[in-house]
Each structure stands twice: as structure tokens, then as C-alpha cells.
Structure 1
Amino acid sequence: MKIPSLAGAVLLAAITAVLPPAAGARAAAAADTRVDIDVRAGLATVGATAIGVNHAIWDAQLGTPAVADLLGDAGVTMLRYPGGSYADIYHWRDHTAPGGYVAPGTDFDTFMAGARRTGAEPMIIANYGTGTAQEAADWVRYANVTKGYDATYWTIGNENYGNGHYGSAWEADDHADKSPRQYAAEIVAYSQAMKAVDPTIKIGAVLTMPGNWPDGIVGSGDTGTWNQEVLTRAGSAIDFVDVHWYPGGSTPAETLTRTAHIQDAVYLLRQQINQYAGTGASRIGISMTETNVEVGRNTQPGALFLADVYSGLLAQGVFTVQWWNVHNGLGTVSEVAGETDYGDYGLLSSGNCNTDDTVCQPALNTPFAPYHALSLVGDLARAGDRFVGTGSDNGLVSAHAVRRADGDLAVLLVNKDPDNAHTVALGYRGFTPAGGAPTVASYGNGDDGVRTGPEGSATAQTLEPYSISLITVRSGRTESGSPKAPGRPSATVTDRTATITWPAGAAGLKYEVYRQNGGVSEQLGETSGTSLTVGNLDPGRRYTVNVLARDGAGRLSQASPPVTFTTGAPATSSCTVKFRDTNDWGNGYVGAIDITNNAAAPVNGWTLAFTWPTGWQSVSSGWSATWSQEGRTVRVTSDAALAAGGTASVGFVGSYSGPNVLPTVFTLNGTVCAGA
């Protein structure tokens, strides 16, 4: 979190048409961008707590009617309290935070009154750093037994990996043992004490976001990373994990590329949960309770980032995303894209000035640009709506879409180009748009608020530079009588095949299996049964699949929940490769590869090849062979002979600037090797 100063109190982190930035028509422009939307590619369903924001006890506006109403108008459905790192010094009973500032009128009951006025569920942070399990249990009793608030979500601590165990210390922690092992033990104790009071609550544990410090680092005396230790030891005691993400970036353009990390980061985090949390790990949800940017916090880069990151995380099944913060206060003032940026992590102005009153923010509670982006996301992602697959051929234009319960589509387009408008041709799969101009809500650079009206067409929109547009597209056909969507499928996987299985639906249905591919899914097959084996898959590749049902009248159901799997290496081969990350420091590591020749004859000269799963991974240096990288493909060559049954060992220094998804498949002289 970003901690405020005591003095600041709220300082702290394909047809073309046009969408004009204001009323009136423009001449039609040729499309330069293609966006596809495929409702057959079903992603996550939006939950009741999706749109979140942080509220802090040092904010004197916490819970006021004006703020509660602004948050409600933006569609906020979850509020986090008492505020980041303050949670680990905060004692709810006497409303104190020794060493920190507590504003008057920010106690728990005031917070709950504001949350109820907003229409938001609370997420409460129990004090791990300087508190006890009994203190947390007493808070549950007061909230849910005495007051009847029905507060469901309780996280144990804030950024507890920042307690000095890995070298950096900003989080209060009075425990003599700062290790993830101790945190896990306390999680179990907190969970038991709190659920003894109210067994219906959900307990969250703090983890690190893959690709962000200290992910990948094994601390002194530990047997694994923070996430591995916490999940292994406390997985059975928790209901969700809680992560934060400040992706950094020295420029707005660099920051806005980081949303490309989302899918891989959530994938890795879910892998860690499934691998380490034990039986029933699939029940464990993921919350993102802090995110923000370092450049353009109050201006359009922050707004564009917010729209992209909320939509991207919710589409991947994160059940709540929460901006840091409602108010934060004046920071370093600069000009970004022609607008004054106050360096403020808040959604709303604190109305304060610098020490010599030469620079002042707008009036108290004036919305900054990210607030307007939040209101568009709140309109996009309503509880019960379903995200569906999208694809864009322009890296500066991102797209997100949801299917409404009534069959309509809402499409969010984000133009991250600060200088150029882009005319977008919209294509649909599994959906027929109605005629007429759709309703468009848009927010552009420097706008005072969101503009709404009928604009363009369902198949073409023009996006002004640095803008966000939400297009509501009416369905041109009725959904009545369509079969029910199949239940969540499962997959049994080899190196080149996957058997997809799903629950049976009504009699007489046929099922179609689709592989997601952005906004244009690929049909893998169809069957009247409840399983399908798919062949000719690529080893080491990730696939996401949906199943749809079609009845005798040709009506197609909505998509099943998705199943994601990665094919492996072959069980047997003439070679075996073992890959290890032997020493990780958070943005790089020492890798070791053992190559074994399983053939009866020696291999005289060899080339090992593999492909990085992402574009932000590379080899910095290597040894015991000649290393080269072209694009994502790495080749390791040697003139030496590899004897029958022999093993060659090579090593390298790898670097990464995002989620570090390790390669799983290797070829030796073109032959796919088995894994070890």
C-alpha cells in the first residue's frame, strides 16, 4: 500500500462508422483496427463484489454521504477497511493505530453505514502485525453477532511479506518469526478463532502476485517461496487469497503495456493454489485488493489502466478488484497528456494544497479521471453478467465484452494511443446484433465526465485518442427456449491429446467443443455424448475450452464455464530434459538444464531448443554450451558427443519482467523430449 504522512492525513498508490467525441456526426473513416467478440468463448461470471475500492481510517471523508453516493453511482460493490498497511497497526475496539493518524469519524460503524449507503459489501483486514487471533474473533463477534452486519470477507493482514523477511520492511510485524511459516501458522489460528464465532465467514491469506517481488524468492530458512509455504501450511484454513499489483513503468506507455501480464499472472497463481493448497483447492478464490499506477494517477493513463485491469482480472475469475484509494492527497504535480496530474492515488480529490499553497487540487471530492473509468467498468461488469472472448489486431486498442442476462452485449474499447484516433471494425461470433445505432458511453482525455448517446453502429466505432468507450449492443435474436449451458468441463491431458468431459444435460442435445482463440474460437469437435477426445495438440501449450449445447431445433446454449489446461511433454522419448529454477531474485534466476540421451547410440553434436511462454522472458547469459535467442525461441548448441545413456548439464541466467511461466517442452535435434 501507499502510506500517508501524518501531516497530510490523506496522503498516502466489417463495416465502418464513427463514434464522435461530442454530439454530432463525422464523416465515416476506414477501419484500421479489427476487434472480434465471440460469445462462444465464455470466461468468468461477474460476482456481487466485483467492483471494489479501498477506504482508509486516515481519510476524514470515509463513510460520508457525499462519498458513499459517488461510489454507489460508480457501481462500487465492495469496500476495503481499515486501509492497507494501517490494518497491521489498527485496533478496532478503541479505534486506534499507534504510530499512525486516525481521522475523526472513521470508526468501523461509520464505515459500515457508508458501505450500506453505497450498496457495497465490506472486506475487512484483521490485524496480523500487532494484533491477535482473539482480537480478530472479537471483531467478527461485534460485526456479525452484536451488530448483524453479515460481514463475510476477512483478510488476515495486509502485505505481510513486507515485514523484513526478504530484506524490505514496511509492514508492521511484532512476531519474532517473520517467516511465511509463522504467518501460515497464525492464519490457521485466526481462521479457527474467527470461524468459531461465525462459521459462514470467508478467510483470506496474503500472497504475492506472480511476477512481482518477492514472488519466486526463497527466504533464509524457508523450504519454498512465500506463496508455496503459506498455501502448503494454511491452504485448508482459507477461502481466498489476496494479492496486490503495482505494475510500475517509467512512462504511461510502458505502464499500459503491463495489463498484458494479467492472464499469465492469474494462471500462475491458480496453478500455485492447485499445487500447494491441498484437497479442495478449487474452492479458493482470488481477490485483488490494491492496484494503481505510478505515472498519470489522476489523468487518462490511470483511467485507461483501471478500465483494462479491472476488466482483465474479472474476466479471469478474480472475484473483486479494488483501486487504491478513495482519497490520498497531493503528490508530485506534473502534466500528463496535456492535463494536470496531482500524483494522487485517490479516485476523488482531497482538495488540499502543497505546503506553500502554490498548487492546489480541485474542490474536495471532485472525481479524477480513474473515477470515470470505474463508472464505465461498473456499467460493463454487472453481477450475473458473463465475460466473453475478445481479440484485437491493434496493440494500442484493447477490448473486453460481457454477455448480459437478456442476451445483449456490452463491449468496452480502450484506445491507449495518446495521439491517434482508431476506427474499429467489430465482428461477432455466436451473436447477431440488432440494427440501429447502439448506445455508447465514452470518456476521453480531459473530459469532465462520461458522455452517453446513440453513436456509430454495432459493427464500427471510432475511438478518439486516449479514450474509453462502452458500447451496448442489442441482440437481434431471441434467446428464449435455448438449452441450458453445460456445467464446468474437466480435462485429462497428455502431450498431444485432451479428453474433455462435462455433466450431462437434457436428453437429445448435441455438444460442441470450442477452443478459445481471442475473439474467434475454433471448434474442436461435436458429440452427442458427454466427452470428446481431441488430438493433434501441441506439447507444452496452454488451451482454454468451452462446451456448448445445441438442441434439435438448432438453438445454441451459452458457453459452459471454461477449463484451462496445458499439454505436457511425452511420457517416453529418445531424450529427457530436466529444467530447474535454482536461485530466483524476483526478476531473474539461475536456470539449470539436464539433457539425457535415452537412445542406444551417441548423439554427436546437438541442439536443444525451447520457446519462452511470454515475450518478457530472456536469456541473459549461459554456459557449458553456446546460447542464442531469436524472438522467444532459445537454442543451446554443442559440438560435444552425448553418449548413449549420458547426461549433459548446461546453465544460464534468465531474466523476466512479468509472470515467469517456465517452459515445459524441449526438443533435442528436433525430437520432443520427455520431461523429468
Structure 2
Amino acid sequence: MGALPIPIASAESAVNRSLHRRTLASTVLLAVTAAVIPAALSPSTAQAAARSAPAALFAPAAALPAPDSARAAALPGPNSARAAASDTRVDVDVRAGLATVGSGALGVNHAIWDSQLGTPAVADLLKDAGVRMLRYPGGSYADIYHWRDHTAPGGYVAPDTDFDTFMAGARRTGAEPMIIANYGTGTAQEAADWVRYANITKGYAARYWTIGNENYGNGHYGSAWEADDHADKSPKEYAATVVAYAQAMKAVDPTIKIGAVLTMPGNWPDAIVGTGDQGSWNQEVLTRAGSVIDFVDVHWYPGGSSAAETLTKSSQIQDAAFLLRRQIDSYAGTNAGRITISMTETNVDVGRNTQPGALFLADVYSGLLAQGVFTVHWWNVHNGLGTVSTVAGQTDYNDFGLLSSGNCNADNTVCQPPLNTPFAPYYALKLMGQFARPGDRFVGAGTDNALIGSHAVRRANGDLAVLLINKDPDAARTVALNYHGFTPAAGAPTVASFVNGADEITTSTAGSALSLPPYSISLVTLRSANPVAAPPTPARPTVTATDRTATISWPSAGGGLKYEVYSQSNGLAAQLGETTSTSLPVRNLEPGKRYTVNVVARDGSGRASAASPPLTFVTGTPADAPCTVKFRDTNDWGNGYVGSIDITNNTASGLTGWTLTFGWPTTWQSLNSGWNATWTADGRTVRVTSDAALAAGGSTNVGFVGNYSGPNVLPEVFTLNGKVCRSE
């Protein structure tokens, strides 16, 4: 077939990325070992060799790893040589509960310029991959698309890609739709009529409707790729229009869910305040439209100049999700907790059709779903030939699609594989379909090797699935797997793998060894040795916290139960305490620190429930501190900002000199320059020193320029001459 057309250009900014240039253009020993009971509350990542299990390869760990000092050498045991052969440790802890996989978790985009949209062949391939949500009509085209006459003025519309054809394909796939209503060139009435046609006339029961696509790219912040006929391009106008759309659309069908477009924290134009605005895009939209929306929709193209750099970006997910959730809770008003998060576009810049894209997909889908994002979508099903290169020894067509478009370049010297041939990311998505099934629950998984990604889910029947991703293009890895709160059944586990250059997923059983070759994804599935009825799962707890204490509370899960409260760290759960009550006071916490906790119920027979849904909170700073710090981001440009710090001496004595100390919360933040004092940085620690006097009750101001290349989590804790300050 001929080349697919190029969608409307979409580029966030020259500073950060040029996105949406959607040019159609060895054997690894898996030793499972027992661990030592911890002496510390919050364990560090397990790094030392562990006690080997003499009875079986897949044996449970007794508890959390001990502190590093207690694990400096391999512990003795009959199989210690096998454990010592590992170079990477992975811990899986079912007591560190994360999000539950929803019915539409695995998604992908469909576009009206794709002539294969909705065909039986494509629908069946997507069904086989476990896709359960399809987005329509496709990215920036959504803001020029008119559903009634199936036109997109200024863009190409392929034959047989109308809404009914899309829905037929979605139904054959077994996927529900995610529909983008036209904000850029449409009206609220047009969107309401679409809801009426879809759900009243045709009975499609289409639940999810997003208002527009990347509407911050309408020129308000300088870059303009998104069509927008509104005279006012501000987030204030977008929010007001979202309210009008939501009211009109829900008047037709009050059961639908309305989504508003936000930007991913750390991505342009996050934190930028446009001319005439009172806040950033996200702040303005949430403040003005938060009461009418049901979810927010974000995209993430993290970029990277190399495959290796791109594959590090998954480490940003937890912070980005935390910041986005904090924005929602801070700005969306009463009952903001009802608002969920969708990620409807993601992809890579290097290795889009080869193994880097596959590894990225598996790692990022897992990371986002574990953090409670209810659906994640790859861009795109088909996209077309781009600039051809060789990546990791394989031909990469620079095609955003999961499936080959079968097209050639202008002089027919380079052609893609036959139409609908799956690319490597398709097989990663298919493994995700086997791994993260609706109703499964993500649980904690951590590794001491940055080149090994690890994720885990607990099935409803108690079984466990572990996804291991080797991001090293050259070397195999030996992995010691350790389980906490889980006992595998006897017998060999099932292993499904996808390796670099393969055109299929292979399935086997693991004996004494499991292959994790370079650039590979492996899914290990283990039966539970205790598939018996357990106590009910406790509900998500709540918290009342100060700077060093917290009271964790939860509803009763039934009579005669004991409750254990755990704090998560690096994928592991450290017990904070236990009680027969429905609340637990916790002491000796750190000021300004982020904690994620779960509650587990245990009955009189010792059987444990699944962990409660997680609660994340940040402790405060001391109200009676000898100093106060007011920190502000006063000017932000997307990868850097000006920080202003007001320091107040709350004591009755003056200071003849002072040192303010704080730490960057992430590794991708750094100091550029500072003023009004002497600024030094040592790793993630920043010191601000002055010989000037600071009188009793007096204040001074210092400032700096900071850089960031990911979610910009602002510092929470400051000390003045070694004393923790109150933060405002």
C-alpha cells in the first residue's frame, strides 16, 4: 500500500522536544533466596548476596532484607554457590500493594488517516495482544475532525474509517472506546450530538470522552501545532469551554466520563505561567473545570538522545504521578479524589520498531498502571515509514506504529515488511496482556541493578506474575529473586520471553535456570502455595500527620482480625506496627518526607489479606521551629526555573552567620547559580552560606537558578544551622 499521510504537526517546544512529528514517515540463573529480618524501619534496596533456599528454586523470603551492614557477605547454606552466582537481586513484596489493573488498562491509538482502522485483521491482532481500550479519531486530528460528515478539513481521511467502522473494530477487539471531542474547531453541541448518536441511537455505551488533544499546543505558550479557532487561547478559555462541553454532553447521557487535557509534570509547558494567566495550564484548568471533569488526560514522550537514555526515563514515573495527583488534589476542589488519570499517548525517539521501543513499552505501561493510571495507550497502530536505521542489530523503520504499514520510500529502495507485520513493541504489548490482566493487583518490586526493570502483579487467586526487563543491549544478567509475603507452590514456574530480533514470544518452564538475554523481557508466573480464602482486603487508609508522627486509620474489615501497617521503600514493605484496632499511631518519622503505606488484615489462623490500596502522604515540618523558610518557583521555562527563598529567624537571639541546607528530591535536578549568599552543591545536597547577621525575628532572601530534566519535585525540608525549619 502507499504511504500513510502525515498528521497535523505537533511539537511542544524547541526547548524540550519536537513531538508528534508523526511522520508516516545466554543463560541467567534465577536463584530465589531467603532474606534476613530487618533491623531498620525503611530498608534500602537489597544489594548483598542472600541466603539460598535448599528445598526449591522458587522459595519464599522470610522477611525484608537486613540493613546493608548486615548483608555485606553471602550467608552460608547448601546452595550458597548458586546464590553467589547472581549479579542482580530482585525483591517482590505482596504487602507493598499498588494499583489494581482496570478493565481498559491496555490501550492504543486509532487514527482516521489509517486505512486499516477497524479491519478484522487489525482488530484480531489487537485482541490477541490484550488491548482493551482504543482511542479515536487520533491525536491532533481530533481538533479538526467532524464526526457527523466524517471530515477533517486540512487533513486526510482514509476511506472506511468513520465512527461506526471504528466501533465495529473495537467490538471485535473487545475494547471500549476513548473518544476525543473536537475542541479546536468544534462546538459543545457537536460533541453532545456525538454522545447522543453513540449512546442513545446506537447503544455503544461509550463511557470516556476527552475534550480536545494537547490544547496547550495552540500557540498560547509559543508553540502552535494544535488547531484552535478560539480567539482566546488561554487555559482559562479552555477550562470554560470544557465546562460547557461537559454540561451539554452529560445532559444527553449523565453516565459518561469527561476528561480534560493536562500536561505531564516535567513536560513542557508544565509550571510555565503564560501571559495574563494566574497559574500554569494544569492549575488553571483544574481550578476552573475540576468540578465537572471525571479524569485528566496526559501524554508522555520523554525523549532521549539514545536508546540507553530513553530507557532510564521510567524512573521518573513515580514522581510525575505523585506531582500530577498533588495538582489534582490541590486545585480541583471538593471531592478531587474522584478524578482519575489517563495516559493516551506515549512512544520513543530511538528504536520505535525495535527492542528499545519494546522494553520501554513494557516498563512504562507497568510503571504507570502501578501508580494508578487507569489506561495507557501507545501511539500508534499504524504510522508509516520514516528514516530507516539499524538499532541493536535490527532494522528500525522509525515508524510510530505497532504494526507495519507495508509502504516504501519514494524511490522504492527501502520497504517495510508486509502490511500488519508486528513490530517489536507489539510483542511487548502482548506480553503486557498476559502480565497485567483486569483485576490483577500490582505489588512492590525492586532491583539493585538500574539495567533490570522489575514489576509484579498478584492475581485474584493468589498467584504471582513477575515481569523482568533486561535493558542491557550487550550482557545477560543473573538474577536472584526474593519473595516477601508470598509462598510459591512446588513445581516449575511458567516463563514467557521476548528477545531482541525475535518475531514471537516463546513460552517454557523454568528448571534450575532462566534465560534473561541482553535486551529481553521475561514474564515469570508462579502458582501460590496457599490458594485459600483470606480475610477481606482493608479499604484504603487515611492519615493525620505532623512533622514526625502520623495516625493511620482505616475501616474495619471484619471481626477478630489483627491489622499490620507497612511502609513501602524501593518496592519492599517495612512493618510500622500492628494492632487489633482500626488505627495506628506511628512515630519517629522524618519531616517533609513522602510515605506510602498499606494495611494488611490477618485472621486467627495467620492467613493474611491482600494489602489495602496504597495511601501516599508527606509529613509536615515543625510548627515551633526556630526558623521559617518560604520557597517559591517564581519563573519557570520548562527545564529550569528561578527559586526564591525567604529565611526568617524565629528565635530571640540574632545569628552572626548562617548556613541553609536542603536536598534535591531527584537525581535530575541541579543548581545552576545563586545569589545573595555563597551557593555550593555536593551531589544532591545544596548549602547556602552567609557571614551576614540575621537578627532575632529578622528575615533575608536568597535566590537561585535551578535546572531539571524530569518532574520538578520541589524541596520540602530546609535546615538552618542544623535545625529543621518550618516550611511555608
TM superposition score category, shorter chain reference: over 0.9
Equivalences for 1:475-494 in 2 at 5 Å?
Answer: 475-480=528-533, 482-494=534-546
Q: What are the equivalent positions in structure 2 for 1:388-427 lying under 5 Å apart?
A: 388-427=443-482
From 580, 585, 610, the counterpart of 2:662: 610
Give 1:622 shift. 0.4
The percentage of counterpart residues that share the same residue type is 77
Shift of the 499–10 alpha-carbon distance from structure 1 to 2, 3 Å rule, reads closer
Q: 143, 147, 168: which is aligned to 1:88?
A: 143
- Preserved contact between residue 265 and residue 659 of structure 1 (Cα < 8 Å): yes
The amino acid that maps onto 1:516 is Q
1:216-365 to 2 correspondences below 5 Å: 216-365=271-420
- Which residue of 1 is the match for residue 72 of structure 2? none
Q: From the superposition, tell whether residues 666 and 10 of structure 1 become closer, same or farther in structure 2 (CA, over 3 Å).
A: closer
Does the CA-based 8 Å contact 2:320-2:711 persist in structure 1?
A: yes
Give the counterpart of 2:516 among 458, 463, 466: 463
Deviations 1:537-579 (CA, angstroms, capped at 9, x unpaired): 0111110000011111111111000100011211121111110
CA distance in 2, matches of 1:546, 1:108: 43
- The match for 2:614 is 562
Q: Deviations over 1:388-416 (max 9, x none)?
A: 00110000001000000110001000000
Q: Deviations over 1:324-378 (max 9, x none)?
A: 0000000111100000000000000000000011110000000000000000011
Of 534, 554, 578, the residue aligned with 1:526 is: 578
Letter in 1 for 2:524: I
- Contact 1:424–1:462 (8 Å) recurs in 2: no
Change (3 A) 1:613 1:529: same
1:473-514 per-position Cα deviation (integer Å, ceiling 9, x unaligned): 11112332x110111101111111111000012111110000
Instruction: Report the Cα distance in structure 1 between the residues aligned to 2:194 and 2:607, rounded to whole angstroms.
Output: 52
Q: Does 1:165 align with 2:220?
A: yes
1:78 aligns with 2:133: yes
Query: What's the TM-score, normalizing by structure 1?
Result: 0.96
CA distance in 2, matches of 1:420, 1:124: 43
CA distance in 2, matches of 1:3, 1:230: 33
Is 1:39 matched with 2:39? no
User: Any idea what SS the aligned residue of 2:312 has?
Assistant: helix
Offset, 1:434: 1.6
| Residue 581 of structure 1: aligned partner | 633
**Letter of the structure 1 residue corresponding to residue 286 of structure 2:** L
Which of the numbers 465, 468, 474 marks the counterpart of 2:527?
474
User: What residue identity is the alignment partner of 1:596?
Assistant: T
- Quick check: 2:265–2:323 contact (8 Å CA) kept in 1? yes
Q: Is the Cα–Cα contact under 8 Å of residues 10 and 350 in structure 1 kept in the other structure?
A: no
Q: Partner residue of 1:539? A: 591
1:519 deviation in Å? Answer: 3.4
SS in 1 for 2:160: coil
CA distance in structure 1 between the aligned counterparts of 2:168 and 2:458, rounded to whole angstroms: 33
Distance 1:446 1:328 in 2: 21
2:250 partner amino acid: K
1:653 aligns with 2:705: yes
Letter of the structure 2 residue corresponding to residue 358 of structure 1? T
Instruction: Give me the whole-angstrom Cα distance separating, in 2, the residues matched to 1:654 and 1:191.
Output: 39
1:657-672 aligned within 5 A: 657-672=709-724
CA distance 1:134–1:6, change in 2 (3 Å): closer
- Read off the aligned partner of 1:97 and give its amino acid letter: A
Which residue identity lines up with residue 474 of structure 2 in the other structure? D
1:17 paired with 2:17, answer no
Distance in 2, matches of 1:368 and 1:118, equals 19
1:106 is displaced (CA, Å) by 0.2
| One-letter code aligned to 1:245 | W
Q: CA RMSD in A?
A: 1.7
CA distance in 2, matches of 1:379, 1:234: 37
| Separation (CA, whole Å) in 2 of partners of 1:337 and 1:674 | 51
Deviation string, structure 1 residues 187-226 (Cα, Å, up to 9, x no partner)? 0000000000000000000000000000010000000000
1:514 aligns with 566
Query: Which of the numbers 154, 175, 181 marks the counterpart of 1:99?
Result: 154
Alignment pair present for 1:209 and 2:264:
yes
Contact 1:425 1:461 (C-alpha < 8 Å) held by counterparts: no
Is residue 239–residue 283 contact of structure 1 (8 Å, CA) maintained in 2?
yes
Which sections of structure 1, spanning at least 5 residues, go unmatched?
20-26
CA distance in 2, matches of 1:12, 1:289: 19
| Distance apart, 1:520 and its partner CA | 2.5
Contact 1:54 1:325 in 2 (8 A): yes
Deviation track 1:245-267 (CA, whole Å, cap 9, x = no partner) reads: 00000000000001101000000
The answer to whether structure 1 residue 505 and structure 2 residue 557 are counterparts is: yes
Equivalent residue in structure 2 for 1:548, among 591, 600, 616 = 600
Secondary structure in 1 matching 2:565? strand
CA 1:622–1:538 in 2, change beyond 3 Å: closer, same or farther?
Answer: same
Counterpart position of 2:188: 133
Normalising by structure 2, report the TM-score: 0.89
**Paired residue secondary structure (2:149):** coil
Query: Residue type of the partner of 1:52?
Result: G
1:4 has 2:16 as partner: no
The residue identity in structure 1 corresponding to 2:173 is T
Letter of the 2:523 counterpart: L
Q: Which one is further off, 79-88 or 445-454? A: 445-454
CA contact (8 A) 1:329 1:346 kept: yes
Counterpart in the other structure of 1:22: none
Q: Is the 8 A contact 2:7 2:140 kept in 1?
A: no
Q: Is the CA contact (8 Å cut-off) linking 1:398 and 1:415 kept in structure 2?
A: yes
Change (3 A) 1:3 1:623: farther
Q: Distance in 1 between matches of 2:439 and 2:282?
A: 31
Amino acid at match of 1:326: V
Q: Which residue of 1 aligns with 2:642?
A: 590
d(CA) in 2 for partners of 1:590, 1:92:
45
CA shift, 1:10, in A, is 8.6
Q: Which amino acid aligns with 1:507?
A: G
Instruction: Give the match's secondary structure for 2:290.
Output: helix
Structure 1 position 17, deviation (Å): 3.2
2:30–2:86 contact (8 Å) kept in structure 1: no
* Structure 2 CA distance for aligned equivalents of residues 402 and 284 of structure 1: 24
Q: Unmatched 5+ residue regions in structure 2?
A: 10-20, 32-80
Letter of the 2:29 counterpart:
A
Note if contact 1:10-1:59 (Cα within 8 Å) is conserved in structure 2: no
Match of 1:447 in 2: 502
